[in-house]
Structure 1
Amino acid sequence: YILPQPDVRVNQVGYLPEGKKVATVVCNSTQPVKWQLKNAAGVVVLEGYTEPKGLDKDSQDYVHWLDFSDFATEGIGYYFELPTVNSPTNYSHPFDIRKDIYTQMKYDALAFFYHKRSGIPIEMPYAGGEQWTRPAGHIGIEPNKGDTNVPTWPQDDEYAGIPQKNYTKDVTGGWYDAGDHGKYVVNGGIAVWTLMNMYERAKIRGLDNWGPYRDGGMNIPEQNNGYPDILDEARWEIEFFKKMQVTEKEDPSIAGMVHHKIHDFRWTALGMLPHEDPQPRYLRPVSTAATLNFAATLAQSARLWKDYDPTFAADCLEKAEIAWQAALKHPDIYAEYTPGSGGPGGGPYNDDYVGDEFYWAACELYVTTGKDEYKNYLMNSPHYLEMPAKMGENGGANGEDNGLWGCFTWGTTQGLGTITLALVENGLPATDIQKARNNIAKAADRWLENIEEQGYRLPIKQAEDERGGYPWGSNSFILNQMIVMGYAYDFTGDSKYLDGMFDGISYLLGRNAMDQSYVTGYGERPLQNPHDRFWTPQTSKRFPAPPPGIISGGPNSRFEDPTINAAVKKDTPPQKCFIDHTDSWGTNEITVNWNAPFAWVTAYLDE
């Protein structure tokens, strides 16, 4: 049975009573259309007329808006009908209006990180269900010998010019990055920063004893150990990062630098548990970008842990400062894309501009230490106090300059540093801190303009350069924009930014051209078949459906995998370039750096 697409598109989970509530109606009438809101018993509780908006460019749908923000009566199973529209689908999916819409969702979003842990068995009662348990992956046993003794990549033309000695490292632990079993410092960097930033913001606002920020708040093995659970989860990744740093003994010429990634020699097929992975694994060479991600996140970790585990915090800071000095000494070891740099057993994560990473690392080190060395560096950076509104603007070439609206990604990180300067007390002039906050609000203002132009009220719109359309992970751009909108609301108190967040989350949970909730376990049409080695029931009945709370990368009109190429015509509007199929890594992969902002946003909205 294929669920029909209703004419009225809503947030399929529901709306907060006091929050902004807008539905998008697919209708080619140029006149307002009557609508009725009914409760679960079928009784009309509200009615009105739509606002026609015409042709929506990104979806090529003719749409109207239906704003019912003033209706705040809590209830379950509300739905819309269009009594004068002669259509078999003149209704909406049912939805709720209640205060706890995001309460469980934030925990489910955070549980993703436990599920993605490497080097530890995933077991009950933490896994959420027996079907999601699995043995520890990559721990030094057959068939892959795991991550206890991983050799460096053999020197060849692929990495010509990058210093590389032969040694092996124990790089157990950390999170599997995405649908594969690779572990990548740059992608892990922005993900772990986002989780720690959630905690840091909560602590500054006096919320550190609430929800996932307290000890015992999350369902993980470390609960009730005396430390905030979200920091425990982040520490799992930070401890792995430490193992990726080159020691003096291994190679004095690049000591302090950090390996870019570790992954399989060749891509494995779907339907592959990590402990069954047959591929040999290699450390890819060091990179300046990975080293600066390391410096930034370990400096951030140091200040958050100093009151809980001062020994761990001091070690983080020492290693972060060593990494900073190493990056200054080797400022141009780029992770460049070459035909084989994917391994081909892992993503390349190529980035040949690291000015943004230098700025971000300097910001984190300065806020943690107060040292003039870092203060002088960041104040002289071309990225000082910058919050991008669009990728690649202001001449900032970077790893993810893809023409789309957005603020930060794994390859574009200056916005992370600016948030830290705006959030955490530091020694910068008060006028500069206010400017950072103003720049955050200005970026958000530009995205609010996009929302008003978009039929489905989302803060991105298709790229205007020759690449056009929506890129890989388009949903993640929206999530990161929502983090910035959250800070704009924190710093200004202007509710328009909160409204922008409600619009963004409603798009992701079903108010879109696909009538698709892009989150597993939530909505009438939830995501069901992400691109993942384990949660892949389409591959085999042996493998389980995914747990709830995982977000898909979403529409990608650049046709990067064979499945979307076969299923969708090339002239399909960008917002409809999506297929909920396990083989579509271009539209339906899942990653740590997409679920981290999803956790940030749902926790914020639940406050």
Structure 2
Amino acid sequence: MLKKKLGKKALAFASAAVMAVSATATGLTALSMTAFAGEELGEGTFENGKGLPWHICENATAVMKFDITDGIYAIKLENIGGTANGGESRWDCQFRHRNLTIESGHTYRITYSVNPSNSGHMYPKLGNMSKDDQELWHSNGDELSLSYEEGLTQEQLEEKLKSASKTGNKVDYGQGWDAWYNKEYPANQWTTVAYEFQATETVKGTAEWTFHMGGQGNYAKMDCFPKDTIIRFDNLALIDMTDDASDYQAEAAYVPTGVEVNQVGYYPNGKKVATVVLSEGDTTKYDYEIKDASGSVVYSGTTDGNTKYDESGAWDYTQQIDFTDFTTEGKGYTLTVAGKTSKSFDIDKNLYEKHHDKSMLTYALNYFYQNRAMDTEDKYIPSPQSQEGSKKTLARKDSQHWPTDNAYIADKWVYIYTSKPSYSQSINVAGGWFDAGDYGKYVVNGGISLWTLMNMYERSLMVGKADKFGDNSTVMSIPEAGNGTPDILDECKVELDFFLEMMRDDGMVYHKAHDYKWTGLAVAPYDKNEGDKENKAPMRIVKPVTYAATLNASATFAQAARLFKDYDAAYAKTMEDAAIKTYAAAQKNFKKFSGWGGDTKGEGGISADLMYAPLDQNKGGGPYGDTEVSDEFYWAACELYITTGDKTYYDELMKYGTNAYGTDNAKALEISTTLVGGENNGSFSLFTWGTLNSVGSISLYVNSQAMLDKGLLTQDEVNTLKAEVLKAADSILEVQDKSAYGIPYVGHDYDTTVWKYNAASGTGDSETKTLSGGYEWGSNSMVINNSMALALAYDASKEVKYIDGVTTSMDYLMGRNPLEQGYVTGYGEHSTTYPHHRWWSGQLNSDDFPYAPYGVLSGGPNSNMEDPMVQGQGYKVGSIAPMRCYLDNVEAWSVNECTINWNSPLCWVASFLDDEAPYIERDPSSTTTATSSTDTKDTTTTTAATTAASTDASDATTDASNASTTDSNATTTSVTAASITPGQLLLGDTNLDGAVDVTDAVLLNKKAANVVTFNAQQMLNGDCYDQNGEIDGNDATALLKFLVHILKGLPENSSMNA
């Protein structure tokens, strides 16, 4: 009987480990086999629970759900789209595989099997994603004789396809345009289609195989399938019979080292902690060494053996190594412990300033120039692209949104437009910043982004370090340099001018401007192809005015007025007048929110007289819904009081906490770290774009001394503001200290709905899941926002624990996390490369689009994983540790988006670290014993921090004598206890420690990839799939399935799994 050493916690860890192996692969992963010779696809039999690169795509009103189980990719068509349902046509529901290459003159064989719950039709084609009317195949060619077989591996399927005989039936290319009308797929039975054809055109890298399954419309004279049909796909293959030059090339699966460090590095006098991932019960006190770039040991020590289970974010077992007292500057250090070696890191007092040619601050700030809604030039873009190989530069020109960007004013809130709207009034909303991955522009998100950048500047003024942001700045590259105004204010003026355009004559401000429906990725802002079926440049609309937008504008206008005053008095006056006008307009029109009858989407059209933003207005642009604006009233009043000194605004801000403008999140002068209201429901963050009371108080704090001198605040109020900063920082430190990875953020419980396919019944059901401690969309933004509180506390107190908190937060973002993922492009050996962005879409089409520049922060792990790419990787919502819910893919919009309000706090924190971290002074408070290369004796040194992850030894379940370690270069594992007798078969026990756990799966995965060699006993134990005497990807997958309880036993083909 197999001894499966896997408790409840370990099960979660094993599931997470499965995902960690594949978290950043953009093609095949350890869960998939290498493509067979001639195979163009990255997946086709779904035997491993993974669908990528296949994924669903919804257009217009279409809604689809999917689940990958038992080797079937099942798709439910909840809304088929089409003109009758407010959509366009058959392409509203798609199932597709992109990034293919088709060569003219080559012979191909193609097959797929499909089983719908209702009979219907579909339009399969090989096309060019960058040229919609170019079709390379559409059910034409010589028909092949092939039938459906369940449970085939990709290799078996390809062999059958290669050997399939021709039936004698032939469909010409011209006939293929309409042949699909005559091909009906019967209900609840498998239909297998196979053809051989010769390509007549070449498309390199942008070919896609897609199935259109949507509603009636242009090019579709009937609905393809009825609403709620479940369509099951299996056994898809596309083989180049001519050669294997364009075979699908999978990126090697990334396997974390298990020694997690900041891959950029550490400051000499800063806190330095690494996290070591171990097995449950491993309480060994491991010796560790730090080596320099030459391989010489320069520092050593021993872990404390206090293994901790991280139940909040990572679901794994770890120890921490604190090497704060190693202060020698250098490059290319590595840390080796428990047979594992970390990624390299530096120790440098100018860590983020000198890591590349330009500083992180420079790259992060240049994000805003590159996302201006206007033409950009390469000479103002200092960053290289995060990946080589694009034929396109980062600059854009001939934008359709500049110098005019006409947008039509919506007269009511409409959730989705079933056709192009016919509004009569339009305004020019040119300029500003594109918000995120799309070309929308949003006042509320622009507001918090403006505040953060201007507060960064104000904070620098407060501490006397603002020169770097001056005219002809050393950290910025913009065309306005030399005009006499600080460059940071010039960049902010771009967005402020857009706000002025969004302001109505009465002072109210329109909420947002964007396309009336979504466009796809790899679409340029100068693309004017409206009229084709993709509608790449649809009509722009302006959504109705809101209190939230109006008060965001008021607050940032007021903030800008005081900052521009010494450089452009006329513009400062414009800002102050606009701030006063917009605040007065919000007051005059204000009505407390009383709901809209449960219609948060406004499908029937919500009256524009109700000046709140619906929560689900997410068609064509981000929703940015907010029904609680008391925090915006408070923030705007704070900024107006700081700027004008008018006691009227003091009286207004002091109303906060009395529910004068809604349900208040706190009281006046307080700083919150748990947010409610708008889209927030318990978020642990200093602020978000929708909950802003903290930023009002922070502005008061940053200006408190000047306001005290002017008599605008009392000493008690100044003291209160400082105390609030320290209180917020202490609550964040408390959370950070509990984390094995030093993250200053913790998720919260929230519900989500998932659709699950039942293979036995052929049906599917939606179920509600509670995500325990779930991370939210943009969790990394909350990490960086909370770092700002820690930085302000350091400014207020100069206590080293607070700047330690900031640097430790950056450690998490720079790779000290269970995925070993750096979340800022260009920073760290293993960092984000493909953020979700329409222009930076080189991953989809590197001929016409660039890759992202350096300095872009990814939103990061999101437990809800809404997009089909991350779920297509085989991730199941609710079964993956929050920190592991991530995929570096340009189409993974729910976990890998970037946006102005996430990059602005990155700028803020980078600026703070450049100012303060090189000059950290530590007060010794504890001692550690370590060995340095400069002194071969054991020496007692001091450090100001102790390991935060220690737990009582009583938490351990085994003695250290049962521990085992594996040298990554060794072929077997040396153990001191529980080892097996030679010849004893224990399937799955690849490291020969007498138990089967996730470490065996990692080792077996390496063997399947021919990274390591096995001895005879390991070969026997590792043959987990069918005991055929060989080790391949099937064996690695079988072991992973066993560890997460998909299989009852090993081998996979045994009767117990029937």
Which one of the candidate residues 601, 610, 614 is aligned to 1:338?
601
Write out per-residue CA displacement over residues 158-210 of structure 1, whole angstroms, 9 at most, x where no aligned residue.
Answer: 69xxxxx953211100000000000000000000110111111111222121x
Q: Distance in 2 between matches of 1:359 and 1:119?
A: 33
For structure 1, the residue ranges without an aligned partner over 5 or more in a row are: 141-145, 160-164, 248-254, 393-397
Q: Secondary structure at the match of 1:522?
A: coil
Q: Distance in 1 between matches of 2:719 and 2:398?
A: 47
Q: Distance in 2 between matches of 1:235 and 1:79?
A: 44
CA RMSD in angstroms comes to: 2.0
What is residue 471 of structure 1 aligned with on the other side?
776
Q: Secondary structure at the match of 1:175?
A: coil
What is residue 91 of structure 1 aligned with on the other side?
341
Which one of the candidate residues 796, 801, 807 is aligned to 1:502?
807
Write out per-residue CA displacement over residues 468-501 of structure 1, whole angstroms, 9 at most, x where no aligned residue.
Answer: 4100000000111111111111111211111110
Question: Is the 1:120–1:173 Cα contact (8 Å) retained in structure 2?
Answer: no
Question: Is the 1:509–1:518 Cα contact (8 Å) retained in structure 2?
Answer: yes
Q: AA paired with 2:860?
A: G
Which one of the candidate residues 300, 306, 321 is aligned to 2:565?
306
Q: Where does structure 1 differ by over 6 angstroms across 4 or more consecutive aligned residues?
A: 333-336
What is residue 851 of structure 2 aligned with on the other side?
545
Give runs of aligned pairs for residues 12-161 of structure 1, distance below 5 A. Answer: 12-28=263-279, 29-51=282-304, 52-57=306-311, 58-82=313-337, 85=338, 87=339, 90-103=340-353, 104-126=359-381, 128=383, 131-139=393-401, 147-155=404-412
Q: Distance in 1 between matches of 2:393 and 2:472?
A: 27
What is residue 162 of structure 1 aligned with on the other side?
none
Q: AA paired with 2:537?
A: P
Which one of the candidate residues 636, 651, 660 is aligned to 1:376?
651
Q: Distance in 2 between matches of 1:496 and 1:72?
A: 17
What is residue 250 of structure 1 aligned with on the other side?
none
Instruction: Please state if 1:583 is matched with 2:836.
Output: no
What is residue 487 of structure 1 aligned with on the other side?
792
Give runs of aligned pairs for residues 192-591 of structure 1, distance below 5 A. Answer: 192-209=450-467, 211-217=468-474, 218-247=476-505, 255-276=506-527, 277-332=536-591, 337-338=600-601, 342=617, 344-382=619-657, 383-392=667-676, 398-424=677-703, 425-426=706-707, 427-464=712-749, 467-468=771-772, 469-542=774-847, 543-567=849-873, 568-570=875-877, 571-591=879-899
Question: Is the 1:268–1:345 Cα contact (8 Å) retained in structure 2?
Answer: yes
Question: Is the 2:415–2:617 Cα contact (8 Å) retained in structure 1?
Answer: no
Q: Distance in 2 between matches of 1:494 and 1:270?
A: 46
What is residue 900 of structure 2 aligned with on the other side?
592
Q: Distance in 1 between matches of 2:602 and 2:438?
A: 19
Question: Is the 2:775–2:883 Cα contact (8 Å) retained in structure 1?
Answer: yes
Offset at 1:563?
1.4
Q: Distance in 2 between matches of 1:460 and 1:343?
A: 27
Q: Distance in 1 between matches of 2:334 and 2:686?
A: 35
Q: Distance in 1 between matches of 2:303 and 2:724?
A: 35
Q: Distance in 2 between matches of 1:150 and 1:560?
A: 29
Q: Secondary structure at the match of 1:102?
A: helix
Q: Distance in 2 between matches of 1:150 and 1:333?
A: 29
Q: Distance in 1 between matches of 2:275 and 2:381?
A: 38
Q: Distance in 2 between matches of 1:495 and 1:136?
A: 50
Look at both structures and tell me which one has the larger radius of gyration over its CA atoms. Answer: 2
Question: Is the 1:296–1:320 Cα contact (8 Å) retained in structure 2?
Answer: yes
Question: Is the 1:106–1:599 Cα contact (8 Å) retained in structure 2?
Answer: yes
Write out per-residue CA displacement over residues 421-467 of structure 1, whole angstroms, 9 at most, x where no aligned residue.
Answer: 11112212111121111111111111111111111111112214555
For structure 2, the residue ranges without an aligned partner over 5 or more in a row are: 1-251, 354-358, 385-391, 417-422, 528-535, 604-615, 658-666, 751-769, 916-1058
Q: Distance in 1 between matches of 2:625 and 2:885?
A: 25
Taking structure 2 as the reference length, the TM-score comes to 0.53
Question: Is the 1:185–1:260 Cα contact (8 Å) retained in structure 2?
Answer: yes
Q: Secondary structure at the match of 2:786?
A: helix
Q: Distance in 2 between matches of 1:516 and 1:37?
A: 21
Write out per-residue CA displacement over residues 308-349 of structure 1, whole angstroms, 9 at most, x where no aligned residue.
Answer: 000000000101100000000122487984166536100110
Q: Distance in 2 between matches of 1:306 and 1:4?
A: 54
Worse-superposed segment, 587-596 or 417-426 = 417-426
The verdict on how the C-alpha distance between 1:214 and 1:511 changes in structure 2, with shifts beyond 3 A counting, is: farther
Offset at 1:120?
2.9
Question: Is the 2:414–2:602 Cα contact (8 Å) retained in structure 1?
Answer: no
The verdict on how the C-alpha distance between 1:306 and 1:212 changes in structure 2, with shifts beyond 3 A counting, is: closer
Q: Distance in 2 between matches of 1:114 and 1:454?
A: 36
Q: Distance in 1 between matches of 2:522 and 2:592?
A: 35
Question: Is the 2:411–2:544 Cα contact (8 Å) retained in structure 1?
Answer: no
Worse-superposed segment, 546-555 or 530-539 = 530-539
What is residue 169 of structure 1 aligned with on the other side?
427
Q: Which has the higher helix share?
A: 1
Q: Secondary structure at the match of 1:403?
A: strand
Question: Is the 1:579–1:588 Cα contact (8 Å) retained in structure 2?
Answer: yes
Offset at 1:154?
4.3
Query: What's the % identity of the aligned pairs?
Result: 41
Q: Secondary structure at the match of 1:433?
A: helix
Q: AA paired with 1:109?
A: A
Q: Distance in 1 between matches of 2:308 and 2:381?
A: 48
The verdict on how the C-alpha distance between 1:402 and 1:561 changes in structure 2, with shifts beyond 3 A counting, is: farther
Q: Which has the higher strand share?
A: 2
Taking structure 1 as the reference length, the TM-score comes to 0.92
